[in-house]
Chains A and B, each alone.
Chain A
Amino acid sequence: MASKIADVIATERTALKETGGVTDGSIATNVKPLTPRSPADVRPERITSRDPDAFPAVTGREEEWRFTPVDRLRVLLDGAPSDARLQEKTELPEGVSLREVGSDDPLLATVPDPVDRLSALAMRNADGAVVISIPADAQVTAPVLVDLRGTGQAEVIWGHVVIEVGRHAKATVVFEHGGDARYAACVSVLVGDGAHLDLVSVQEWDSTAVHSQHTAIRVGRDARVRGIDVTLGGDVVRLVKTVEYAGPGGDAELLGLYFADVGQHLEHRLFVDHAAPSCRSRVTYKGALQGDSARTVWVGDVLIRAAATGTDTYELNRNLLLTPEARADSVPNLEIETGEILGAGHASATGRFDDEQLFYLQARGIPADEARRMVVRGFFADVINEIGIASLEERLLAAVEAELERTKL
């Protein structure tokens, strides 16, 4: 055990060294940070609340907003209620049910609270929720498909979706987002004891869409959840994902892939809160950026509380800058309140396109543009191959392929 602790400390030290002594764990971004880092050693207590006014007004200077172009989210932050909805198409395999509930439904009282002002606004303004239920012990092999499409409405669309997975059930839920919308949502995910959920969210919005979402996952005892974000389109996409464990033995694997083009801001913020013993978490996000002002943000926070002995966690973020004007921010942050853990670590790197890889492939006769595509495909392949759902892997490879087609490498 002592050596594990030493490993953790060494990892932290390295991170500190690489960031020049600041403690938020920022590593290897493309250029100097736009905003000064917080001087505090310990991040302030996290606020969770259903009341938007429990959170300070958003100026862009707050820790959780400092990377976000809040002006482009202003229409959401204004918080005007609306009845607008996304076009919904669902495929529900046998045994899976979908219902709409009012805001006074007792189920909604049990879901995790929002973590920032915008997610609190979304939960309040959604005024009820769509509930997808997978009954206990159900083994649903076909994926539950939810296709959400914006039709260009100017009003903000507020959404709240609850996914309930009964104990020992197994299911895959896939969200696909497309079209043009201003969409702010909460997705509450309740994974019962011993259940297994694969939750995929694909963002292929039009280049004008704005999407903000808080996905709150509660992992039951000995349950397993895999969350997979694939973000390829949109003007601003800001996805916050939080994981809490309702009991020991939970396992959360969070995978992500993003590809930012000219002018896009794609932000993924993760917070894994280890409060129960013997839980595991793995976070692996990879992004590629190309073009002027293409921007990505990845913030990976892991907190290991004193009670969370036997925790095993690792988070990784890699960014590939295909053009020099793009900018990726990567901020891993690990807080550890107990030494009695199995392992904890993080890694982050942001690099430019490797000309040596290009030379090697070209020296085997492969033309330059094809060689570049091979390298980018290869960069994402290990995330995609982790998914383990063949049909989905093919679909995502095709999506990356389409993205590469649109991209002049």
Chain B
Amino acid sequence: MSTPQNRAAGSVLSIRGLEVAVEDKTILRGVDLTVRSGETHAIMGPNGSGKSTLAYSVAGHPKYTVTGGTVTLDGEDVLAMTVDERARAGLFLAMQYPVEVPGVSVSNFLRSAATAVRGEAPKLRLWVKEQKEAMARLEMDPAFAERSVNEGFSGGEKKRHEILQLELLKPKIAILDETDSGLDVDALRVVSEGVNRVRESGESGVLLITHYTRILRYIEPDFVHVFIGGRIVEQGGKELADELEANGYAKYGAAAEPAGKSLPMGPVVPGAVTTA
């Protein structure tokens, strides 16, 4: 496995023929996708098409069983890694529903994560400054750092916190799962600016999973993939997003709703009823 320090440009996430099941129900039916650092890909699709399943399978959530295909990061077998090994190898998943961890402060959590991903504890003084500046860029109150992770956060605060982690952990490949859902225009702008800063570094590839087209006004994708029935059915440039906004997914045989009509169900909350 590559070392945590190995952040050389030119990282490649390669997904080949990925098939994934949840409790014996097949969700992904052969996904092929390549994301390189510096590139931004948007995956768009209707509810229940398996977009979030793709994100969580790559991150290694135990609920999902990979039944076929491969996922590699710079040639390393991602599927053979534990969840934390994947993160240390350079994968990052910004979650749609970040989890509350009561009693664990944001600052403690961020420093633990940075220590794990970088392979050594950042020097305290430098770290305090780094965290403070990153929070300021995301227009977050410094007092935020002393709150418990995600506990009592508003929807906008949760997403800012996810992007804060993205900026601090500087992954090779970042998957953003419905990061735009539940955000007002101000928060969407702030969050998008954060993602754009990461893109501009040129060191990270971004896979943006979205139900809406509006985030694509702030974050311009290089590639757009239409995701239906657990597979990619069409690929194109950013003009494909405009077409989806106008015509929805009807021509792919999916429900004739325009992209972005309703909120998708959340992933993987135990006991929750999902409509996948």
Contact = CB atoms under 8 A, between A and B. Distances in A.
B267 to A, nearest CB: 10
Interface stretch (B12-20, B83-91, B137-145): B83-91
Interface in A352-384: 354-357, 359-368, 370-371, 374-375, 377-382
Interface string B52-91: 0000000111100000000000000000001110111000
B84 A368 contact: yes
A364 B116 CA distance: 8
A357 B99 contact: yes
Interface string B243-276: 0000000000000000000000000111000000
B82 A377 contact: no
B117 A364 contact: yes
B165 A364 contact: yes
A374 B112 contact: yes
Interface string B118-158: 00000000000000000000000000000010000000000
Nearest to A381: B103
A397 to B, nearest CB: 11
A366 B269 CA distance: 21
A161 to B, nearest CB: 33
Contacts of A381: 103-104
Contact of A375 (B60, B86, B101, B116): B101
B182 interface: no
B116 A356 contact: no
A367 B87 CA distance: 10
A363 B83 contact: yes
Contact of A363 (B59, B102, B104, B148): B59
A360 B269 CA distance: 12
Interface in A177-196: none
Q: By DSSP majority rule, is chain B's interface helix, strand, loop, or mixed?
A: mixed
Contact of A356 (B112, B148, B270): B270
B103 to A, nearest CB: 3
Contact of A355 (B84, B95, B270): B270
Contacts of B102: 378-379, 382
Interface residues of A, number: 24
A382 B87 contact: no
A366 B270 contact: no
A374 B112 CA distance: 10
Nearest to A361: B101
B87 A362 contact: yes
Contacts of A355: 62, 270
B62 A365 contact: no
Contact of A365 (B61, B116, B269, B270): B116
B63 to A, nearest CB: 9
Given A356-B270, A368-B82, A363 B101 contact: no
Contacts of B100: 357
A152 to B, nearest CB: 37
A362 B103 contact: no
B223 interface: no
B113 interface: yes
Given A355-B270, A367-B116, A370-B112, A362 B104 contact: no
A313 to B, nearest CB: 23
A362 B82 contact: yes
Contacts of B169: 364-365
B101 A357 contact: yes
B173 interface: no
A361 B82 CA distance: 12
A24 to B, nearest CB: 27
B232 interface: no
Q: Which of A357, A364, A368, A379 has the most CB of B within 10 A?
A: A364
B176 interface: no
A375 B150 CA distance: 13
B109 interface: yes
B93 interface: yes
Nearest to A377: B103
B30 interface: no
Contacts of B112: 361, 364, 366, 370, 374
Interface string B195-219: 0000000000000000000000000
B109 A364 contact: yes
Nearest to B101: A357
Contact of B84 (A357, A366, A375): A366
Contacts of A371: 84
A359 B62 CA distance: 8
Nearest to A318: B102
Contacts of A360: 95, 98-99, 101
Contacts of A380: 103
A375 B104 CA distance: 7
Contacts of B101: 357, 360-361, 374-375, 378
B1 to A, nearest CB: 13
Given A357-B99, A377-B104, A382-B102, A364 B268 contact: no
Nearest to B86: A363
23 contacts: A356-B99, A357-B100, A361-B101, A362-B60, A362-B82, A362-B83, A362-B87, A363-B59, A363-B83, A363-B84, A363-B86, A364-B87, A364-B112, A364-B117, A365-B84, A365-B87, A366-B112, A367-B116, A370-B112, A371-B84, A377-B104, A378-B101, A381-B104
Given A362-B87, A364-B116, A368-B84, 13 more contacts: A357-B100, A359-B61, A360-B101, A361-B109, A363-B95, A364-B87, A364-B113, A366-B84, A370-B112, A371-B84, A374-B104, A377-B104, A379-B102
